[in-house]
Structure 1
Amino acid sequence: MAAPITAVFSWGANSYGQLGLGHHRDHLLPENLKNFPEDVKTIVGGGGHTLFLTGNGELHVCGSNNKGQLGLGHTSDISKLVRVPDLGPLKQIACGWNHTVAITENDELLCWGSNTHGQLTLKESIVTKPRKIEVSGSDCPRFAAVSGGLRHTLAVSTDGQLWTWGAGKKGQLGWTDSKMRVPQQWNKPVHNLVKEDEVDVKFVQVAAGAYHSAALSDMGVVYVWGCNKWSQLAQPKSPNPKQTPQRLDPTLFDGFRIKSIHSGWTHMMAVTEDESVYTWGRNDYGQLGRPAAKVLANGNTESESNATPTNTTPDCCHIPTEISILNNAKQIACGAEHSLAITKDNKLLAWGWNEHGMCADGTKTNVLLPKQVQGLDGHVASKVGVGAGHCYAFCQ
């Protein structure tokens, strides 16, 4: 039996009350949250809203609600956690910038919030209460995984099929029509069939960025597509998006299978089957957790472990690179441009964008290397969750 949660801390951006503290002030260090639901299973956040999913499937929410993204039937912001009423048990939740998607205990999809780009598949531009996503066709699929991007949504059905909808201008939906045109947006789930050697690829996880997308196959292979302005597709940065899923060569990860993928707005992380952690994509805020490589007099580059972080950290890197301090991490979570990790020795680390204090070191200076979070008052973090610029830690 898991140890009970003894404390919950939140920090970072709080303009909409997304920290659940009853006010709208940012916090540069963790603040103790007095009231929180028991048995929290998952914490996720969007641009300014926060969702807590409990072990019995209840949903508790706070923060920005101008588009109804809290699912409470109105559009007023909430600065303290409240339970969403009249909602059946949920298995999984995901946030876009200002929309929310969930999977029910019956493997159906629910959605609410902004629908300005078709990310909810409905007719209304704003939906303030959870509504079912209908999938056309005789065989209505059941769903096992979902992820929200800035204005698009990805899902995997229980049979391993990939589904995409919402904004598509940057190729983030991963398909083109019969005339090879990229949809500007699409307001219904589209089955995106991916084949390798004439065999349908089966997927188990999806991860949506701002304008790019990624999916993980049951064989531990990563597929990416969409915007590559910041090398988030593990290719040299380019203004030209990839319109269909591209398979990443396993040699990029030393030949190991990938067991989980994580995406910020413009950077990515992958955990291999041997518990190594790789990062790639945008890095101008330090979101990759790696220093700049120093060019030596002989033209070679100094190894990352010996390099020193400087203000000349490359703005991006297309080569997935192992971050040794994160190996065997118990949990990893990506915000918009920052990340958190709980290490094997129970340290909570943060790095990347720090304008609102999301790296919890008491400053607003960006953090280039994973750095231990301050201010937990001796508590040990067992679970973390992030939004675009805010963070939560559950401690035991």
Structure 2
Amino acid sequence: MRQGLYALGSNGHGQLGNGHMDDTAEVHPVVGPQGPITERPTALEFGGTHSIILLQSDPEAYYVTGSNDMGQFGDTQTRRCQEFIRMATPGHIWKRAVAGWTFSLLVDEQDHIYSCGHSNFGGLGRGQGTPTSRKLGRIEGLPDKRIAAISCCLEHVVVLYDDGEVWGWGGARKGQLGLLNGPVRCLWTPQKLNLGEWAPDTPTDVHCGREFTLVSSRVTGHFTVLGTDKHGLQTLSCDRDAYDQLHAKHLSAGYSSVGTTWTSIHFLLPNARILSLGSNRNCQHAPREFNCEATPEEGDRKILQMVPGSEHVVIEVEAGSTKQTLAWGWAEHGNCGIVDHTTENMSIEEPNEILESDTGSRVTLYAGTASTWLHSC
């Protein structure tokens, strides 16, 4: 495989940026204004039907593809595209990006956050009078501090600052923005979040699921979950006996990485196995070979990296003299590669191979809304 960015999966609006609008179960090159994109993105983020790329070689611009029906591209008349287009922003150097269902957020080198697009639940963070904006606008009212992490899913946004404070806005009806003063449908502007008494002292990560927020510490392995208990996630973080047992068994040494699907949480542990929590309706939980609850067997492959998408999980493993990119979970749009069979709800339980590469190659994985992306060099 040549050096470059590749994608597969859901593509009904051109959000894979590969020159067409058909779902695909095979890897295809991702194309920008100058042809196939060969540079590894500094950020690659996904909305419902649009995608955003940041490139180190072009810091005063961002790149978008897919649907712009709700203004999620920003200031352009383009309504839809099948390849990434360049959005020039002279004077703004971007270092982070995230995306909601129909909106986009960009973070500049001063840690100011800008938004565009549409959200009926305050996802733009610019007040009740601005549910829609086809131009990037700065979100006011945030602290003047360094951002350690930012996450977004569908309609809510959460920001972690380097001093441990967590702020958020957007959809709040399910409690995903923490303890507020009474039932609140949404926050139209940013607010410091009350994480509750069991929040980790020194959080390092925030991740948004569809109706929940995970705040966690990579060093200590402690975490808390805000929001709906539909899949048992909030109960787990509040039931201290169950939580303490789980932490002692799997997370006392911290974790290597963490991510969320819409309805589940996945920790990659120091022993290169995965702790999966929450819903398993779409087979999101790690299969036996990679699950920390299972007894290791001879021949088990070692996980090198893990990224959850909307309802699927993608990993890279070491397999003897080669590396393999594997996926499992919801596979309806081809995002888990070419599969022989699925469950009734179009999911796969066992890891499916998307790509095999030699051990000298470097592959970086990304997972989006029913899509899988990889950069090879």
Indicate the TM-score class for this superposition, using the shorter chain for normalisation.
0.7 to 0.9
Correspondent of 1:71 among 71, 74, 94 = 74
Paired with 1:323 and 1:104, the residues of 2 have a C-alpha distance of 45
Which residue in the other structure is 2:338 paired with?
A: 361
Q: Kindly indicate whether the alpha-carbon contact (under 8 Å) linking 1:18 and 1:390 is maintained by their aligned counterparts in 2.
A: no
Q: Which residue of 2 aligns with 1:104?
A: 108
2:12 partner letter: S
Distance 1:364 1:20 in 2: 27
Within 2, Cα distance between the matches of 1:200 and 1:333? 23
CA distance in 2, matches of 1:46, 1:100: 8
User: SS at 2:204's partner residue?
Assistant: strand
For residue 213 of structure 2, give the secondary structure of its aligned residue in structure 1. Answer: strand
CA shift, 1:378, in A, is 11
| Pair 1:213–1:382, CA change in 2 (3 A) | same
Q: Give how far 1:380 is off.
A: 5.1
1:285 to 282, 307, 318: 282
Q: Which one-letter code corresponds to 2:45 in the other structure?
A: V
Deviation, 1:247, is 11
CA distance in 2, matches of 1:75, 1:127: 15
2:100–2:152 contact (8 Å) kept in structure 1: yes
Structure 1 residue 40, shift from structure 2 partner: 2.1
- Alignment match, 1:293: none
Structure 1 Cα separation of the partners of residues 141 and 190 of structure 2: 6
Which residue type is aligned with residue 41 of structure 1? T
Q: Distance in 1 between matches of 2:131 and 2:83?
A: 26
Match of 1:352 among 329, 338, 346: 329
Deviation for aligned residue 1:344: 3.9
The two structures, once aligned, show a CA RMSD in angstroms of 3.4
Percent identity over the alignment? 23
Q: What SS is found at the alignment partner of 1:330?
A: strand
Shift of 1:330: 3.1
Deviations 1:38-73 (A, max 9, x none): 242232212121122222434221112222222343
Instruction: Report the more deviating stretch, 165-174 or 345-354.
Output: 345-354
Task: State the Cα distance separating 1:130 from its structure 2 match.
Answer: 2.2
Q: Tell me, yes or no, if structure 1 residue 154 matches structure 2 residue 128.
A: no
Is 1:331 the counterpart of 2:312? The answer is no
* TM-aligned CA distance change 1:340 to 1:216, over 3 Å: same
1:124 matched residue in structure 2: 130
Q: Deviations over 1:92-147 (max 9, x none)?
A: 221222222222111221222223111111132222232211116xx533422110
Task: Work out whether residues 4 and 38 of structure 2, in 8 Å CA contact, stay in contact via their aligned partners in 1.
Answer: no
> What residue number does 2:265 align with?
268
Aligned-pair CA distance for 1:187: 0.9
1:384: which partner in 2? 365
1:28 equivalent in structure 2: 25
Q: Call closer, same or farther: CA 1:331–1:25 in 2, change over 3 Å.
A: same
More deviation in 378-387 or 218-227? Answer: 378-387
**Residue of structure 2 in register with 1:212 after alignment:** 212
Unaligned runs of 5+ in 2: none
Secondary structure, in 3 states, of the residue corresponding to 1:19? coil
Q: Which residue of 2 is the match for residue 59 of structure 1? A: 62
Pairwise CA distance, 1:220: 3.4
Amino acid at match of 1:212: F
Amino acid at match of 1:161: E
Aligned to 1:231: 232
> Could you give the per-residue CA deviations for residues 326-362 of structure 1, whole angstroms, max 9, x where no partner exists?
9863332221111111224531111111111110025
User: Does residue 163 in structure 1 map to residue 137 in structure 2?
Assistant: no
Q: Aligned equivalents of 1:119 and 1:70: distance in 2?
A: 15
Q: Is the 8 Å Cα contact of residues 234 and 280 (structure 1) preserved in structure 2?
A: no
Structure 1 pair 69/134, CA: closer, same or farther in 2 (3 Å)?
Answer: same
Q: Partner of 2:74: helix, strand, or coil?
A: coil
- TM-score normalized with structure 1 length: 0.79
Q: Is the 8 A contact 2:282 2:311 kept in 1?
A: yes
- On the 8 A contact 2:3/2:38 being kept in 1, the answer is no
Number of residue pairs matched by the alignment: 355
Match of 1:113 among 110, 117, 121: 117
Paired position in structure 2 for 1:188? 189
Cα gap change, 1:289 to 1:121, in 2 (>3 Å)? same
* Pair 375,15 (structure 1): closer, same or farther in 2 beyond 3 Å: farther
Taking a change above 3 Å as real, the CA distance of residues 43 and 305 of structure 1, as seen in their structure-2 partners, is closer
